[in-house]
Structure 1
Amino acid sequence: MRRRITTLAVCAAVVAASTGMWTPAASAAPGHDHGRLVGTVGVTAARPAQESTTPVPSGSGERCTAARGKTKFCVRSDPAAFRDDDRMSTRDAATCAVTGPVEMRYHRFGSCLKTAVTGTLVNDKGAVIGTGTLSMVHSITLSATSSAFEEQTTVTLSNVTGQVTQVAVSLTASCTAGCVMTKASPWTGAKLLSRGQSASGTVNYSETLAKGAVANTRTKYDAYVTVPNAVPAQPNVSWDGVIDIRCDNAVGNFAGCVYPGARPDLEVSLSLYGAAAVTYYWAQVALPDGWGAETPLRRLASDSLAEANRRSTCDSSFVPFPDEIVVDDSCDEYPFAKTYEGGTPGGLCADIVPLFEDGQWQIYEANPNKPVTGTEKCVRGHVPLGENEGAGGELGRFTQAQRVLDLDPYTVTVVN
């Protein structure tokens, strides 16, 4: 994006994908005082994006045997029975119901982890005389502007058999690296549950980060599970949060935390940014690399390298049109200068003029002596400066809001 503002802020948006229509021109129709018409663009409404799902590894547990003439209760976490077709919008908070598969679902700022723990009651002869199943649900909410975060935990005794009628459970959370617990247990002591009963509460985590620092942490859980009048097996049961949380103090004025595996998406509004949005969308559908759609872009944090990229792409071979063709014409480059994919020399880019005519966006060649082939690695759009700068500001706000660090991949979606 060619901007007269040299400072980019940075913000976040959640993942969404758009559908649209790109129609190449049937023939080399001549165009106004510029080059030929190469096609038309129509963009339809965005569809809701999906969050990510990952399997939960099975936990450890000892073999259940008799305990010196006493009844013994052994516990272990169940193997994962995960599926990837039960997903939630990245725009919503992680909604955790007790029912459903054992799995980890997450988006940029939230997650829902479901695990299951089974307890087996054996008598002094080693025979199984009962079982109990606990459903464990952990819902974490992260913040773009705070490195402290909260987790809601619910444990439900979902099934019992035989001589197991009640199960007592206590739970303690912890975290790795520089993370500390400001509240480690969701409830005090052990909760005695009958079938269908639940215990719930919150735990709290916090990271203290120096300016520019980045830290990864993973939540961990230790449960002590037993039944009345039985000897609990040792060790009891432990599991972790499956994927890392990344906290940083490297973008914006505040520290914050995200799930970095959930790729953020920059939404660019066609109604707000007109020719700029059309330029990006045209590049995604008409050029081979599909930057920002089929192939993610990677953020370039260095302002000096980004300016070098911009000068390389929007070089002296870009000649602005007079106002009667494009008002306050400017060079808008895609991939963006603030990406590692940007910086291709301008002579290798497709030069286009997006114009809104007869109720649709028409794409013209900017220079009849430099035909658009559809094989270029980049595009230079002739875009009104206000739309160019407005889309650049959107990219800046996105980086901060989604906490997009250097080299972080992201996608771009053009929406109405």
Structure 2
Amino acid sequence: MKRQRWLHSTAILGISVALLAPLTTGTASAAGAAGQAAAQPSEQVVVSTSPEAPAAADQGARTAAPCNVYNRTVLCWRTKLTVTVIRNRVVTGRLYGTITQTINLKTTSRAFSERISLKTDRIVGNAGGIRAGFSVSCGSGCRARSTGVNGKTLRVGSIIRGKISYSDGVRFGRVHQARTRYVLSPLKPGYVPGPATWRSPIDFRCDDRMRRTSTSRGPKAGCVFPRFTPTLTTMRSLRFIAPNIRTWQRRGAPKVLHRNNFLTAANRRAVCGRATLPPGWRPPAGWPLPATGNNRPSCDEYAFAGTNEGGARRGNGYGWVPLRENNSQGGRIATFFNQQRVLNATSARTRGDAFRVSV
């Protein structure tokens, strides 16, 4: 009898749906499997998985808790597991479980880790004595090593806990983006395993593009979840810049920007190039005096010049702030980009990473 390959959960969707009906020992179970009779081994253990989709964490959250949520460096999600035992093309048992996975990235390292737990919630019929065959991969140039899960027996009430260590080999100036990939094979003596394959619900990204040269002191390689949009909040403490940003955001300037330093000079000229102080301008209350040198008025544009949304666009504008505060803003933005690994665009025509500005 020809053996069918079971390499992805979607490949077993047809049989798993047919097998979700309550267990019986009569002709109903046999009829449910009859359509697959020509392709199935007579003794088989099949796995199906139903992962839950995680949501972006609150912008103020530092960790991705509770599960099924993610932020810039932490992803947690759960997957429902069903193992179906088939003998002579009749369902003789099922095992139900829950897989919980948490990936922790580091913005300053290519190495990251994952915690995985497999809880057996219920066993029905002849689904006992099943061991977990487990493997993991993370794409080209990335190595993964798992411990604690492979070969362990699934028992009701017990939780199998494992750890996965990753090491990404991304080189200087390069970016590697992928999803982690998992294969779970149910091992039961005398039965042919039908593995399930699933991936992490979102991509991780490791890069070494933040340094100017391979020997510079800038941020070395690190990893993030690029789908999460980080929020810049350090403008809030700048006395004159913060209300300037609030003003233009209220007037329609975007709160989500995309980094693009290739556009900085042109965008700045378009907004501040011809800006002049209003006649009779006087320093407002709180302005550092005298209003000369580092305290002299400086044109502060929003949206930021070094973004795709900057320049003379509808809703954008400028205000006057002390030069020292404007210089401080530039340093704070650069620090935020480095800490969150907000990658620059690759040209004036492309878009870099998104980030949110909150004041």
2:162 aligned with 1:201: yes
Could you tell me which residue of structure 1 aligns to residue 110 of structure 2? 147
Matches within 5 A, 1:214-229: 214-227=175-188, 229=189
Could you tell me which residue of structure 2 aligns to residue 245 of structure 1? 204
Partner Cα distance (2:254, 2:11) in 1: 43
Q: Among 303, 308, 312, which residue is 1:335 paired with?
A: 303
**Structure 1 residues 281 and 73: alpha-carbon distance in aligned structure 2, compared to 1, 3 A threshold:** same
Q: Among 254, 259, 271, which residue is 1:299 paired with?
A: 259
- Of Structure 1 and Structure 2, which has the larger fraction of its residues in helix? 2
Q: Among 362, 387, 391, which residue is 2:329 paired with?
A: 391
Please give the TM-score of this superposition, normalised by the length of structure 1.
0.66
**Structure 1 residues 317 and 66: alpha-carbon distance in aligned structure 2, compared to 1, 3 A threshold:** closer
Q: Deviations over 1:109-157 (max 9, x none)?
A: 1111322221112233x32221102311221011111121111111111
Could you tell me which residue of structure 2 aligns to residue 212 of structure 1? 173
SS across alignment from 2:327: helix
Matches within 5 A, 1:86-165: 91-95=61-65, 105-124=69-88, 126-165=89-128
Q: Deviations over 1:368-410 (max 9, x none)?
A: xxxxxxxx53221111223222222221111111111122121
Could you tell me which residue of structure 2 aligns to residue 61 of structure 1? 12
Could you tell me which residue of structure 2 aligns to residue 282 of structure 1? 247
Partner Cα distance (1:141, 1:83) in 2: 15
Q: Deviations over 1:303-350 (max 9, x none)?
A: xx4133223322243227444675422111111111122232xxx8xx
Could you tell me which residue of structure 1 aligns to residue 342 of structure 2? 404
Instruction: Report the CA distance between 1:162 and its aligned residue.
Output: 1.8
Instruction: Report the CA distance between 1:105 and its aligned residue.
Output: 3.0
Partner Cα distance (1:89, 1:157) in 2: 34
Q: Deviations over 1:7-64 (max 9, x none)?
A: xxxxxxxxxxxxxxxxxxxxxxxxxxxxxxxxxxxxxxxxxxxxxxxxxx96432746
Instruction: Report the CA distance between 1:219 and its aligned residue.
Output: 0.5
Instruction: State the AA in 1 paired with 2:119.
Output: T
Could you tell me which residue of structure 2 aligns to residue 255 of structure 1? 221
Q: Deviations over 1:171-229 (max 9, x none)?
A: 11101132222x2x2227400121011111211112223322111121101112134x4
SS across alignment from 1:391: helix
Please give the TM-score of this superposition, normalised by the length of structure 2.
0.76
Q: Deviations over 1:243-266 (max 9, x none)?
A: 221111112421111111111111
Q: Which has the higher contact order (CA 8 A, sep 6+)?
A: 1
Q: Among 47, 56, 76, which residue is 2:47 paired with?
A: 76
Identity, in percent, stands at 29
Give unpaired runs (5+ residues) of structure 2: 1-7, 16-32, 211-217, 346-351
Report if the CA contact (8 A) 1:58-1:80 is conserved. no
Give unpaired runs (5+ residues) of structure 1: 1-56, 98-103, 349-375
Report if the CA contact (8 A) 2:133-2:187 is conserved. no
**Structure 1 residues 265 and 145: alpha-carbon distance in aligned structure 2, compared to 1, 3 A threshold:** same
Alignment length (residue pairs): 308
Instruction: State the AA in 1 paired with 2:63.
Output: A
**Structure 1 residues 162 and 386: alpha-carbon distance in aligned structure 2, compared to 1, 3 A threshold:** same
Tell which deviates more after alignment, 88-97 or 165-174: 88-97
Partner Cα distance (1:379, 1:176) in 2: 44
Report if the CA contact (8 A) 1:330-1:384 is conserved. yes
Report if the CA contact (8 A) 1:60-1:76 is conserved. no
Instruction: State the AA in 2 paired with 1:331.
Output: C
Report if the CA contact (8 A) 2:9-2:196 is conserved. no
**Structure 1 residues 87 and 378: alpha-carbon distance in aligned structure 2, compared to 1, 3 A threshold:** closer
RMSD between aligned residues: 3.0
